[in-house]
Amino acid sequence: MQRIALFVTIVALAARPSSALVSTNVPLEHWSYDAVDKLASYGLIDSAMLTIRPMSRVEMARHVGQAMLTLERMNDAPAILQSIVDQLKDEYRGELILIGLIEGWHSESFVKPLEDPYVGYLRADRTPDIENTRGDLFRKGSNYRAGFATRGTVFDRFAFYLHPEYLDSAQTDGDVDLIEGYGKVMIGDVEIQAGKDSLWWGPGRHGSMLMSDNVQPFTMLKLTNPQPLQLPWIFHALGPVRGEWFLAQLENDRDFPDAKLSGVRVSIKPHPLVDLGASRVVMFGGRGMPRVDLFDYGKMFLSLTERDENNQLAGVDASLLVPLWKSAPLRSVRFYVDAAGEDEAGWLPSKWGELLGVQFNDILKTGRTDLRIEYANDHVPGYRDVFYTHSRYTSGYT
């Protein structure tokens, strides 16, 4: 499985569709992901691949453009859909102009020095444990947060993003931290990103089996094709394909300081209603562990060798959107599964964990009510705390 996923990813990153334009990523917590997901559940967007995030602003604008065109052809569309599309159009106006979907003036180089400013306060009677907050550790008592983002592009070929934040609490001194910060360049249609950012792999909303923003953003090198592409020959049946590879250095304060984490993912859309994905993650190296050269890395990543000096995981996920008949009390239902195995053994993972979900879209067809139910289980009988820890790498990566 991992060899097939790696091969498809290499083909995807090497293929050359129409020229892509660089843009910063849409942060994982941004409201537009839920908005695009809602529009997709209505059938306004059939190309969105939301199981591999973050998505670039230009790619998000392509989906907004498709929703705009589809909405124009709909009869008696709920007013809330027009409201959502209008909000997205305002948010991505610059990118919509850039790709020629609306008229207007666009500058190839710009800087937005102050974007999405925020101030937050949380008081807790005990140490809170809040998921999907980029590894933010809140303390007992008062917690203060304040931050903003800065982004820009240079000649539509280089983009940068900075997200500084002031943190303070009743138990710690105030400090300023760079939560996310990276630069991007385009080489052909491959995007190369270096810096600090988060990843989310899979269809889950409240969690993911391998990659989510429950952990601190990784300091990493990442390669991806931001715009899905169609592969040639027999691979055309796979539909739109996105591939992603990264190599990250983990923090110093752990059992093996400066350990490395690397992963590859491929997402395909063989049908507008179906999303499939495969992922692979390996943790290796660090102070006190054997050095890994390029040859060792290749053998390790392809599971050609089993050693106690690395921690390997792999997973698959699938999502199916089922539109319902007109007289049904809701518009559609989405079913999804995200399964991953710990401790790779040859071709197949072992010690599986899974996330299952069902999403009921547009209940009573008012355009305002959706319901999502998710269940996750990473407990492996007989192996306590095995899924995200390791016999050697006891700190894990979450």
Domains, the chain, ranges and CATH? 25-377 (2.40.160.130)
- For the chain, the distance separating the N- and C-terminal CA atoms, rounded to the nearest angstrom, is 24
Residue 301: both structure tokens together: 């990543």
Asked whether the predicted pLDDT for residue 327 surpasses 70, the reply is yes
Tokens of 303: 């599971």
Is the Cβ–Cβ distance between 145 and 174 less than 8 Å? no
The whole-model pTM stands at 0.89
Which one-letter amino acid corresponds to residue 21?
L
Q: What is the mean pLDDT of residues 86-107?
A: 93
pLDDT at residue 4 is higher than 70: no
With cut-offs at 50, 70 and 90, classify the pLDDT of residue 395. low
Check pLDDT > 80 for residue 396: no
Q: Is the pLDDT of residue 13 over 60?
A: no
- Is pLDDT above 70 for 206? yes
52-61 mean pLDDT: 96
The per-residue pLDDT for 17 is 43
- Sign of the alpha-carbon dihedral angle for 204, 205, 209, 211: positive
Q: Does position 263 have pLDDT exceeding 90, yes or no?
A: yes
Q: Residue 348 pairs with which residues in a beta bridge?
A: 345
Q: What mean pLDDT comes out for the span 43-58?
A: 94
> 342 vs 118, which has greater pLDDT?
118
Buried b or exposed e, range 145-171, using 16+ CB within 10 angstroms: bbbbbbbebeebeebbbbbebebbbee
Residue 350 has what pLDDT? 76
Degrees to nearest 5, angle at CA 46 with 44 and 47: 130
Q: Phi first, then psi: what are they for 392, rounded to 5°?
A: -105, -50
User: Is residue 266 within 8 Å of 3, Cβ to Cβ?
Assistant: no
Task: Indicate if the pLDDT at residue 187 is higher than 80.
Answer: yes
Per-residue pLDDT averaged across 282-300, rounded?
A: 81
Higher pLDDT, 170 or 242: 242
Residue 304 has pLDDT above 70, yes or no: no
265 phi/psi in degrees, rounded to 5: -140, 145
Residue bearing tokens 């602003």: 57
pLDDT band, very low/low/confident/very high, at 135 (cuts 50, 70, 90): confident
